[in-house]
Amino acid sequence: NPYGQSRFDKQEPFQNSYSTPGWKRAQANKTDATRDNWGNRSGHAVERIGYGESGPRAKTIDGELVAKSTTSEPSRFSVGDRVFHMKFGNGNVSAIEGNKLTIDFDRAGQKRVLDGFVEKA
């Protein structure tokens, strides 16, 4: 080592000099499968050591409904209307479903947007 000794040069600290409960538990759980695959990233015959339950669990995500079609009130737009959207630019309404408009924009292609985000051009 051209830069002097490293604390990793000596192997003694990595033998059995640790006496913490976690180290002892790891040494007791060590098997041939884990010893043979140390540093092997192939994933072949690697033993998984874990605590608690395993397996996929469904996660529940709490949230609120952001946009819902209001079918009781007709849209103020009609098919064929020319509209303007702040991000997508000008376009023509091609379909209406409640307050959701399908618009063929000149540059952005076909998009579905809520009628509150467009204005008549």
Residue 25 is assigned to a structural domain of this protein: no
pLDDT digits (tens, 9 = 90+) for 22-57: 878 887 777 655 655 555 555 555 555 565 555 666
Where in the sequence is the domain holding 87, given as residue range(s)?
A: 81-120
Residue 20 is assigned to a structural domain of this protein: no
Residue 18 is assigned to a structural domain of this protein: no
pTM confidence score:
0.43
Long-range Cβ pairs for the range 90-98 (8 Å, 24+): 90/121, 97/69, 98/69, 98/70, 98/71
pLDDT, position 56: 65
Residue 49 is assigned to a structural domain of this protein: no
Residue 96 is assigned to a structural domain of this protein: yes
pLDDT digits (tens, 9 = 90+) for 57-82: 677 777 777 666 555 678 899 999 99
What's the Cα-to-Cα distance from 55 to each of 51, 52, 58, 100, rounded to whole Å? 12, 10, 10, 40
pLDDT, position 25: 81
* pLDDT at 9 > cutoff 90: no
Residue 111 is assigned to a structural domain of this protein: yes
What's the total number of domains in the chain? 1
